[in-house]
Amino acid sequence: MILYLLVLLTEMAVWWRLKNDFRDDSLKRWHIVKYLKLVFTLILIYSFTRVLFIRGEMGTPQSASLLIFFGAVAAMNVTSNLLYIILSLIRLGLSAILNKKINWLKWTYSVLSIMTALLFVYGFFLGRFNIKTEKRDIYVKCADSRVDGLKIAFISDLHLSSFFHHYDKLSSVVSEINMNRPDLMINGGDFITYGWKEFNYCDTILRKVRARYGSFAVRGNHDDCSYDRAIDLGARSDGSLLVDSLIKASDYVLLNDTSKTFNYNGAMVTVAGIRTSGHRLNISYGDETKALSGISDSSLVIFIVHDPAFWSEYNKLKSFASLTLSGHTHGMQIGIPTHEGYWSPASFIHPYPEGLYKQDDHYLYVNRGLGTMAMAIRIFMPPEITIITLHCQ
């Protein structure tokens, strides 16, 4: 409701400022500006109308994809509108102080607002499917040097409704993973956003991954179907069980506070994982003690938890796991490329927004995710497949 109100207020305010800014211009210029803005307003009305007529569950591929489409359009309009309104009011104040019109400034912030809107257009049509394969060599302390060379393919946050009408992109992800011939396939959770039906037939795509020692996954905070407010608690519980079964049908070993140990070149390697539940900043976790029990004979422990904040909250984890793998943040789906990777405004909210982190001899890797949530865009924060090769030091 707050989002809808913000969209409405910024739309009204930007039309008010446009009319005031261009009232002394030629009629031709005013028509150009008016019709250009009208295009964006009509797209907003169209997307809102589609959402308004969603009936029943939010957790279908169609409904969930409509919601993130509206989120993208709303974010585009609100951001460009706010930029225009703020700069227009600054110009109004400066004109009053200097007692003269500043026309060049009007055209400057008009162009800036249009460029901002076009960034969102890029993020919707290109950025969200501009999937990058990040290859990382991580040097960990090993009790057995035979662990050296273990290759992990790591993905997270598929939010499968993001691929509605674009399932070929998901198939391409599977092909890219198989081309890298991983020993392990790991998924950091959030297969869905709202409901189990978002899987559609994606389990038949995901099960085509070929990893030498198997595929492992944990549940993210969306995978319990609690984000679909249109269904009751009983339906959520049933949906949660169906999500579990679909994850397993995708050929994953689902680690719900459990672990699995396998023999890698004669060395014992354990993959452990816990479930994550809750909404936004109110996140809860499974039982890490249970998940990490009985791993004393392992030469290497890899731990999977959806939310990377767990890594700093539970210090005893670091005494067991050499490498922790997480997702959750999406890098906020917006960022700025830097020489070290990407900077994201997610860093103001999350202590580990994306990428590799080290504390003593323990590592955390945060995947940017493959899908989108809330808004179907990625601006300079590309979706990610991570290929990690472990080396013993």
Surface-to-core class of residue 175, CB atoms within 10 Å of its CB (0-12 exposed, 13-18 middle, 19+ buried): exposed
Where do the domains of the chain lie, and which CATH numbers do they carry?
A: 2-125 (no CATH), 133-392 (3.60.21.10)
User: 23-32, 57-66, 216-225: lowest mean pLDDT where?
Assistant: 23-32
Residue 260 to residue 176: CA distance in whole angstroms: 25
Mean pLDDT to the nearest integer, 114-119: 94
> Predicted confidence band at 311 (pLDDT cuts at 50, 70, 90)?
very high
User: 59-73, 142-156, 286-300: lowest mean pLDDT where?
Assistant: 286-300
How high is the pLDDT of residue 299?
Answer: 84
> Predicted confidence band at 281 (pLDDT cuts at 50, 70, 90)?
confident
**pLDDT by residue (tens digit) across 318-332?**
778 999 999 999 999
How high is the pLDDT of residue 230?
Answer: 78
Q: What is the DSSP string of 29-71?
A: HHHHHHHHHHHHHHHHHHHHHHHHT--S-S-SHHHHHHHHHHH
**pLDDT by residue (tens digit) across 264-274?**
999 999 999 99
Q: Which segments within the chain are labelled E, that is strand?
A: 132-140, 151-155, 184-187, 215-217, 252-254, 258-264, 267-273, 276-279, 282-285, 300-304, 323-326, 336-338, 341-343, 355-359, 362-366, 384-392
Residue 154 to residue 387: CA distance in whole angstroms: 6
Residue 292 to residue 263: CA distance in whole angstroms: 17
> Predicted confidence band at 228 (pLDDT cuts at 50, 70, 90)?
confident
Q: Pairing mode, if any, of strands 384-392 and 151-155?
A: antiparallel
Q: Which residues lie below 8 Å from residue 310, measured CB to CB, with a gap of 6+?
A: 274, 276, 285, 288, 317, 324, 326
Nearest to 195 by CA among 223, 220, 165, 234: 223
90 vs 1: which has the higher pLDDT: 90
Residue 334 to residue 376: CA distance in whole angstroms: 11
Indicate whether 313 pLDDT > 90: no
How high is the pLDDT of residue 8?
Answer: 93
> Tell me, what DSSP letter sits at residue 136?
E
Nearest to 249 by CA among 326, 195, 194, 191: 191
Indicate whether 389 pLDDT > 90: yes
Indicate whether 1 pLDDT > 90: no
Distances (CA, A) of 123 to 47, 112, 135, 259: 17, 17, 23, 38
Polymer length of the chain: 393
**pLDDT by residue (tens digit) across 336-381?**
988 878 899 989 989 999 999 999 889 999 999 999 999 999 999 9
Indicate whether 317 pLDDT > 80: no
How high is the pLDDT of residue 341?
Answer: 82
Q: What is the pTM of this model?
A: 0.94
Cβ–Cβ under 8 Å, residues 367 and 325: yes
DSSP 3-state of 232: coil
